[in-house]
């Protein structure tokens, strides 16, 4: 550790070299000195970095500064995107801020193209990505810097696609950089948190932003204005809390309440499955079981992209081990499996012997898996999942829970070790927020679920399907009579009565 005294003893040249190393490259187009977190952000030489956290933490300034760092160098081209032009240009937003910073400078603004052009020939453009297909308007373009303002408003595919536009000539006099900034929350909260905070790849850097890091803001007034917000939203905006965000679909989820360790499932517990099919996106398949008190437990999860025959093989293998129960005579007790009716009806590029197109349901049937169309209403499914997750002060925790006997239990539990994707998706699920969505605020966001929430979709299918409590096993009072009953049942009962539908 270097102390102030040891720094003072350094020769002037070494001190000068050290100051240079700790000073980011700035241009006259940046009107004020960066604060320490912004300085760290501007010093980074890695390709990918994210500046995020509390509202008012100087994120927009940091992103705009980064874009302007090399605008005095010929051949440099930068792009900053947001969801819409309206969001870019509203007061205080990043494009409006660039007009404040560069007004009166030697840079020229093209209103039609939303582009600054600098005397060096460098450029800074502003763009939008409202829909998934909007990424293609940048096809063929090349940028040395791409910045995403409010990254959590984008899908991961939009973000990763623009890496293909990040190109430059060999030995360019500036680094190739993908930079972004955001508060917690929004459709991309889950993937942004995973990519930059909880599971960052090597070379990916996260710089946290806090309100106290921005001396240009009236902090006391801003904090006072946040006191009117709900606690979760206040934590997100004030502290940059990535475990809480505005529009969180299931704020009641608590791992200490809802997550349980693996346990042996009694053969008398009802079981059923639900699935949400994907091809390029993962297929999610869940095993549910219900205890004697009606508690619903998600006991296992299969989550993988691929084709129906691959999924069918895996599911049939799992049924041979954990997923299917045996009755008292050792017979397999088959149970039902439910899927999204829209995808089950989807026609495949395959035909049957009569030349008719096969559906996805037909294809699974061909591999030995019978699927029943589930209830796929988004609003109803969201309400049901939320009801089951809500702790009930009058409900006792079951004996297989780590808090067995205590009061305040929910009705839905997950075996966390076996359902990691589902757990992550419940925590990250955002409410629908698009103004055009008729279920805005009353269902989980459709775009998020389609891109990132396949286990969540399977969960709501399952929660809307079955909920009755399992029947307690019969108490054997006379062992001889019970033996005679089992012998008679084994010889004279049609096994179809064991199919649980």
Cβ neighbours around 16 below 10 Å, total: 11
- Predicted confidence pLDDT, tens digits, the chain (501 residues): 455 555 556 566 654 554 555 689 999 999 999 988 899 999 999 999 999 876 556 889 999 999 999 999 999 999 999 998 889 888 889 999 999 999 999 999 999 999 999 999 999 999 999 888 899 999 889 999 999 999 999 989 899 999 999 988 788 899 999 999 998 888 888 899 999 998 898 889 999 876 555 555 444 554 554 555 555 555 555 555 677 777 889 989 999 999 999 999 988 899 999 999 987 789 999 999 999 999 999 999 999 998 899 999 999 999 988 898 877 777 777 789 999 998 888 777 766 666 677 888 998 998 999 999 999 999 999 999 999 999 999 999 999 999 999 999 999 999 999 999 999 999 999 998 887 888 888 999 998 998 889 999 999 999 998 667 777 776 545 656 656 666 665 555 444 443 343
State how far Cα 275 lies from the chain centre.
19
Strands of 372-373's sheet in order across: 259-260, 412-415, 296-304, 283-290, 270-276, 337-339, 372-373
Contact 368, 381 (CB under 8 A): no
Task: Tell me the whole-structure pTM to 2 decimals.
Answer: 0.74
Q: Contact 431/383 with Cβ under 8 angstroms?
A: no
Residue 188: HSE in the Cβ half-sphere, 13 Å Cα cutoff: 22
Structure tokens at 12: 């002037």
- Residue given tokens 């829209």 in the structure block: 342
C-alpha 196/C-alpha 363 separation (Å) is 39
Secondary structure of residue 77 in the 3-state scheme: strand
Q: Enter the DSSP assignment of 133.
A: G
């Amino acid at each position: 550790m270097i102390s102030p005294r040891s720094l003072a003893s350094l020769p002037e040249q070494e001190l000068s070299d050290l100051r240079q190393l700790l000073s980011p490259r700035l241009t006259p187009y940046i009107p004020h000195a960066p604060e320490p977190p912004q300085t760290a952000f501007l010093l980074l030489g890695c390709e990918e970095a994210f500046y995020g956290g509390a509202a008012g933490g100087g994120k927009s300034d940091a992103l705009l500064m980064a874009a302007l760092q090399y605008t005095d160098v010929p051949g440099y081209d930068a792009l900053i995107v947001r969801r819409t032009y309206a969001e870019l240009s509203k007061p205080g937003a990043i494009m409006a801020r660039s007009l404040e910073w560069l007004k009166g400078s030697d840079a020229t603004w093209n209103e039609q193209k939303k582009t600054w052009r600098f005397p060096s020939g460098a450029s800074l453009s502003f763009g939008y990505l409202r829909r998934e297909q909007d990424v293609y308007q940048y096809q063929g373009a090349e940028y040395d810097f791409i910045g995403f303002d409010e990254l959590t408003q984008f899908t991961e595919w939009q973000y990763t696609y623009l890496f293909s536009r990040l190109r430059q000539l060999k030995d360019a006099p500036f680094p190739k950089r993908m930079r972004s900034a955001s508060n917690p929350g929004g459709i991309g909260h889950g993937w942004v948190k995973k990519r930059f905070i909880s599971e960052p790849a090597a070379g990916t850097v996260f710089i946290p932003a806090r309100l106290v890091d921005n001396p240009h803001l009236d902090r006391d007034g801003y904090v006072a204005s946040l006191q009117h917000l709900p606690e979760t939203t206040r934590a997100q905006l004030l502290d940059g809390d990535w475990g809480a965000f505005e529009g969180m679909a299931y704020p009641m989820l608590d791992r200490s309440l809802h997550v349980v360790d693996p346990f042996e499932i009694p053969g008398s517990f009802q079981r059923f499955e639900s699935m949400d099919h994907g091809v390029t996106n993962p297929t999610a398949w869940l095993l549910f079981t219900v205890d004697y008190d009606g508690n619903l437990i998600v006991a296992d999860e299969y989550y993988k992209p691929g084709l129906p025959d691959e999924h069918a093989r895996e599911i049939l293998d799992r049924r041979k081990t954990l997923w299917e129960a045996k009755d008292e005579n050792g017979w397999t007790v088959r149970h039902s499996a439910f899927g999204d009716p829209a995808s089950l009806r989807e026609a495949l590029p395959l035909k049957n012997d009569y030349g008719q197109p096969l559906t996805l349901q037909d294809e699974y049937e061909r591999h030995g898996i019978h699927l029943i169309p589930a209830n796929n209403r988004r609003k109803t499914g969201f309400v049901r999942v939320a009801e089951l997750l809500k702790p009930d002060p009058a409900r006792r925790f079951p004996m297989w829970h780590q808090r067995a006997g205590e009061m305040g239990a929910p009705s839905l539990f997950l075996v966390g070790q076996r359902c990691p994707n589902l757990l992550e998706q419940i925590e990250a699920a955002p409410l629908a927020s698009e103004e055009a969505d008729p279920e805005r605020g009353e269902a989980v966001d459709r775009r998020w679920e389609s891109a990132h929430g396949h286990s969540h979709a399977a969960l709501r299918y399952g929660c809307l399907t079955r909920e009755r409590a399992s029947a307690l096993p019969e108490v054997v009072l006379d062992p001889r009579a019970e033996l005679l009953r089992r012998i008679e049942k084994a010889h004279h009962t049609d096994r179809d009565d064991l199919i649980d539908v």
